[in-house]
Amino acid sequence: MPKSRESSDYPYIILNRRGVLKSLGLLGLAPAAMALTGIPSAAFAQSLTKDSIAAVTGPFNILGSQPYETRESWPKDLEINWAYNTTNEEILTKTAQPGSFDAVIIYQGEIDQLLKLDRIEPIDVSLLSNWNQVAPMFRDAEVIRRGGKIYAVPFHWGYGYLEYNADKVDAPRTYQDLLSPKLTGKIGMPDDPYAVITTFAVFAGAKRPNNLTRQEFDATIKLLKSFRPQVLTIHNYGDEIGLFARGDIWVGFPEYSNSLSKSRAAGAKNMQITSLAAWSYIDCFMVLKDAVNKAAAYKFIDSSLATQSQRLSTKHSLAFPVNDAAIDAISPELRYESSTQALANAPMMPGVTVESSGPDVPFQEWVQAWIEFKAT
């Protein structure tokens, strides 16, 4: 478990400066002092307690995807400013300016990238009253930890499934079924190198689909390239709903939780899913190192884990809750008994390394391979 903010993990000099700044802050001079010293205001947020988190008010800037913007569940005493990312990578560009955001919501695979850029810090979950409401499968997951410290608080989860139109095609049971001539030019894939290459790594038989050796990576990309004739288009997330409804594609993978019900509602009434090559992701809160209102970040995160909040955000986003008490809010066609049971068919992934000196192929190479695949 991470240590308290008052632990010796934090440089002594910062504590001293913070003390000075606190005194100045009482005199209303803090902003001027910070501007002069260049010390980010995040220094104020180091000494958090449950009480200070409960009492915090003021602005809170969060960056996340729109489906999770559930205003009804927001703490009323925060002035919440929600900014949107449309791709995973935008998290990296949009948090480049220190102090812009207090927290972000992104899948656990981005931890390494944000850590490499020194943007996030460990989260002290002892400050979250609702932490114990998170299902143990997520709370104890290794994929949210680095070096034993928690960097990401699970918010929602989902698994990438294979979706097909049962009016047009039988359920694909193996990878070979997807190569049927009947499916040539009838398959769609999202424009997401992480998701697609992970799925093809599973198809290629990689034991750790996010941690590919050079040989495994090459085999995976070769398999992906051989699959090209089957693919009609590489779409943005959400576009598959129209593609299925119009009959342009019959199979899509990996697709996520909101896709099935929306595709059915849009007119592709006999859409079905299989767990072929399925794997899971967790969309998490991460707290930024330069957060201006870190207490507000903790307050917001804590509030989002409560059962009622999870129900609301599950209904709004159609993603699965990490609090099992909110399972009843999942749409009937995807509802499960417990997250343990649901996760059995779709293992969690840790994310892809960004270190180029290690044994695994780094994420940057995944993206370049994906770009070349698309452009070939």
Partner 1 sequence: MTELNESFTITGVDGSRKPFVTLGVLPLLVYLFFMLAAPLAILVVFSFWKADFFSVTRTFTLENYSRLATSPIFVSVLFKTLSSSLLASCIAVLIAYAMAYAIVFRLAVWGPRVLTLVMASLLSSYVVRLYALTTILGTNGILNKALIASGLVRAPLEFLLYGYPAIILTLIYVYLPIAILPIFASLQGIDRRLLEASRDLGCGPWRTFLRITLPLSARGLRTAFAFCFILAGSDYVAARLVGGMNGQMIGSIIADQFGGASNYPFGAALSVVLVAGFALVLSGCYIVERATAWMATRSFWRAFAGLRLSLPDIPLTETITFLGLVFLFAPLLTVMIFSFNNTPNPGIPFTGFTVHWYVDVVQDPGFHRALGTSLTIAAISVAGAMLLGLPAALALARRQFVLGHFTMLAIFAPISVPGVVIGASLLATFITLGVKLGVATTAAAHVMLVIPFIIQVIRARLEKIDPRVEEAARDLGSSPMRVLRTVTLPILATAVLAAGILAAAISLDELLVTNFTIGTNATVPVWISSQMRIGLTPALNAVAILMLVGSLGSIAIGASATRRNRSRRFAEEIGEIKA
Q: Check: CB of residue 280 under 8 Å from CB of residue 89.
A: no
87 binds partner 1, rule: CB under 8 A: yes
Q: β-strand 103-107 against 271-287: which pairing, if any?
A: antiparallel
33 binds partner 1 per the rule CB under 8 A: no
Is the torsion defined by CA of 238, 240, 244, 245 positive or negative? Answer: positive
**Rounded CA separation 279/41 (Å):** 40
Query: Cis peptide leading into 2, omega within 30 of 0?
Result: no
Task: Output the smallest distance, CB 183 to partner 1, in A.
Answer: 14
* 96 touches partner 1 (CB under 8 A): yes
Shortest spacing between CB 362 and partner 1, in angstroms: 9
Q: How far is the CB of 372 from partner 1 (least distance, A)?
A: 5
Distance between CA 348 and CA 371 in Å, rounded? 25
Residue in 182, 208, 222, 246 binding partner 1, rule: CB under 8 A: 246
With binding defined as CB under 8 A, does residue 236 bind partner 1?
A: yes
Long-range contacts of 91-95 (CB under 8 A, 24+ apart): 91/63, 92/117, 92/119, 94/63, 95/63, 95/119, 95/288
DSSP code at position 59: E
What is the per-residue burial (b if ≥16 Cβ within 10 Å, else e) of 102-134? bbbbbbbbbbbbbbeeebbbbbbbebbebbebb
- Scanning 98-170, the segments in alpha helix (DSSP H) are 111-116, 136-139
Report the alpha-carbon distance of residue 313 to residue 155 in Å, rounded: 9
Number of helical (H) and strand (E) elements in the chain, helices listed first:
15, 11
37 binds partner 1 (CB under 8 A): no
Position 262 contacts partner 1 (CB under 8 A): yes
Query: CB 216: neighbour CB atoms within 10 A?
Result: 19
CA distance 350 to 372: 25
Closest distance of CB 47 from partner 1, Å = 25
Q: Which of 16, 23, 86, 341 binds partner 1 (CB under 8 A)?
A: 86
The region of 214-222, 283-291, 332-340, 364-372 touching partner 1 under the rule CB under 8 A is 364-372
Q: Please give the residues from 141 up to 200 whose contact with partner 1 meets the rule CB under 8 A.
A: 185, 191, 193
Task: Return the number of the residue (67 or 347) whose C-beta is nearest partner 1.
Answer: 67
Nearer to partner 1, 317 or 323 (CB): 317
* Amino acid, single-letter form, for residue 20: V
Shortest CB 191 distance to partner 1, Å: 8
Q: Which stretch binds partner 1 (CB under 8 A): 64-72, 120-128, 136-144, 171-179?
A: 64-72
Q: Does 66 bind partner 1 (CB under 8 A)?
A: yes
Distance of alpha carbon 153 from alpha carbon 128, whole angstroms = 10
Stretch that binds partner 1, among 10-18, 197-205, 261-269, 342-350 (CB under 8 A): 261-269
- Span from 131-139, 151-159, 236-244, 326-334 in contact with partner 1 (CB under 8 A): 236-244
Per CB under 8 A, residues contacting partner 1 are 61, 63, 65-67, 69, 71, 81-90, 92-94, 96-97, 100-101, 113, 116-117, 185, 191, 193, 228, 231-234, 236-242, 245-248, 258-259, 262, 265-267, 317-318, 354, 363-364, 367-368, 371-372, 374-376
